[in-house]
Structure 1
Amino acid sequence: MGMLTNKIKREDLKRGDHIYSYRRAYTYSHHARFYFVTTGIYVDAGNVIHFPRGEGQEIGTGTALDNIIGSSLPQHPLDNPCPICGDESRRDGVISSCIDCFLSGGDLYRYEYGVTRTFFLAKVCGGTCTLASSESPEQVIHRAMYFLRKGFGDYDVIKNNCEDFALCCKTGLRVIPTVSMGQSGQAASFQAAAGIVISSSLVFLARSSPLGFLATNVTGLAGGYGKYCVNRLANDIGVRRDVMRVVLEEET
């Protein structure tokens, strides 16, 4: 792993790793193709505990995400379910899958913990690393197993998604429920990027001269990228203060 990619081989997996994969999907109209990320905690012997978005769970963000994000559950033909996991297409909440079902044909990546601010800002794509430190593999897996039994609340693409689940398992921290946004880097990156697109569109509408548009837009994009980086850093669970330590019922 390094600055360019977090991609790893299966033989490099370790117990308690926070892993993720990019899956190809389509909009509901099937006219556009995009990729989304699914994340989880690697347990052992090829088992992954994760928190996918199930069928029929409405997003309701009021953004373009409502139209493009579908279920992130592993998909199999009804007449050919996974011999290990069975049919997971209609399951809700935290689930356990074999790694083949989790990846669904995608590549394997490992999320990085305890990175420096310089390294964090250099990773343009959000949802790949954090300044926060990970707890021990035993604690991580114990927490993941607990959520597998008890659940992790209702899925929400912005406030409570699969990356929020994995971050909580790894760090024991969770964003205070009253805030409007969760702790995941993917959500922070999406909102920050959306702000850049909106500001760039306004600049375009405000400038009639091509040269004036070019000069202003380059400056605007540079400033927008700076805001994007600052927003990602400010929302990282390793620096924000609106978090609480999760105490499991059996620990009280």
Structure 2
Amino acid sequence: MGVLTNKIEREDLKPGDHIYSYRRAYTYSHHGIYVDAGNVIHFTRKEGQETGAGTVLDRFIEVSLPPQRPLDLDNPCPICGDESKRDGVISSCLDCFLSGGDLYLYEYGVTLTFFLAKARGGTCTLASSESPGQVIHRAFYFLRKGFDVYDAIKNNCEDFALCCKTGLRVNSTVGQSGQASFIQAAASAGGILSATVSMARSSILGVAGLAASCGTYCVQRYINDIGVRGDVMNVVLEEET
């Protein structure tokens, strides 16, 4: 664990951990809550559905899919069954969740320096996690009740895991997902850098453009983190009788 990687071994997992695994050559990551005994609760959707976001982010943030390996309908997973055909909040074994990828641990309560040093979003947050018992309780609640409609920008698997861990949700055009804010920040910074480079005629202007783009990227990531945003609300779970 550290700035360079959040990779973790299976034997180090603890109930209530927010875990993730990269898909499709690291283009995006799929997130979930580790419960216990090799079980993971996560938010997903069926392959082939449209995100419906209608923004440039759709091209960058792939939708979290169930296991990518070909389905064997005659021989479903002996541990969790044929969860791959379902969408919404599901419970599956760790192997099906990882789908052949490596295991990573999402970090909470990191310092601002550490947060900004992590070049890629969707790996850590300034926000603090609540107790493992509260996290697991929310995960099972959403497993029964659902987590609204999946949206790659406003309501994705990372949003689900963040809500389970912190009890907070964002009601905005962009959710609390670090992946979404990362792409948004990169797009804003890239636009400034491209414009500056096209006009630059000296190394000084080039350096200034680079500094401006890096600053924009850091600021955008920071203000979109759930740990500092002002447009968050506490989730109140309905009492069940």
Given the two structures, how large is their TM-score scaled by the length of structure 2?
Answer: 0.90
**Alpha carbons 1:10, 1:108 under 8 Å: kept:** yes
Query: Among residues 142, 146, 153, which one is paired with 2:137 in the alignment?
Result: 142
Query: Among residues 44, 47, 53, which one is paired with 2:45 in the alignment?
Result: 53
Runs (5+) with no aligned partner, structure 1: 26-33
Query: Among residues 181, 190, 196, which one is paired with 1:197 in the alignment?
Result: 190
**1:216: how far off?**
3.1
**Partner in structure 1 of residue 178 of structure 2:** 185
**Partner in structure 2 of residue 30 of structure 1:** none
Farther-moved stretch of structure 1 (136-145 vs 225-234): 225-234
SS in 2 for 1:145: helix
User: Does residue 1:174 correspond to 2:169, yes or no?
Assistant: yes
**Partner in structure 2 of residue 31 of structure 1:** none
**Alpha carbons 2:125, 2:225 under 8 Å: kept:** yes
**Partner in structure 2 of residue 240 of structure 1:** 229
1:20–1:188: structure 2 CA closer, same or farther, 3 Å change rule? Answer: same
**Distance (whole Å) between structure 1 residues aligned to residue 124 and residue 8 of structure 2:** 14
Q: CA RMSD in A?
A: 2.1
Query: Among residues 218, 229, 235, which one is paired with 2:218 in the alignment?
Result: 229
Letter in 1 for 2:19: I
**Partner in structure 1 of residue 18 of structure 2:** 18
SS in 2 for 1:138: helix
Name the % identity.
Answer: 70
**Partner in structure 2 of residue 84 of structure 1:** 79
SS in 2 for 1:85: coil
Farther-moved stretch of structure 1 (86-95 vs 8-17): 86-95
**Distance (whole Å) between structure 2 residues aligned to residue 64 and residue 3 of structure 1:** 25
**Distance (whole Å) between structure 1 residues aligned to residue 63 and residue 130 of structure 2:** 32
Given the two structures, how large is their TM-score scaled by the length of structure 1?
Answer: 0.87
1:136-182 CA distance string (max 9 Å, x none): 1111000000001110011111111111100100010111x2x2111
SS in 2 for 1:249: coil
**Distance (whole Å) between structure 1 residues aligned to residue 234 and residue 240 of structure 2:** 12
1:94-151 CA distance string (max 9 Å, x none): 1111000111111111111111112211211111111111111111000000001110
Q: How many residues align?
A: 238
Runs (5+) with no aligned partner, structure 2: none
**Partner in structure 2 of residue 39 of structure 1:** 31
SS in 2 for 1:89: helix
**Distance (whole Å) between structure 2 residues aligned to residue 48 and residue 232 of structure 1:** 28
| Aligned structure 1 segments of 4 or more residues deviating by more than 6 angstroms | none
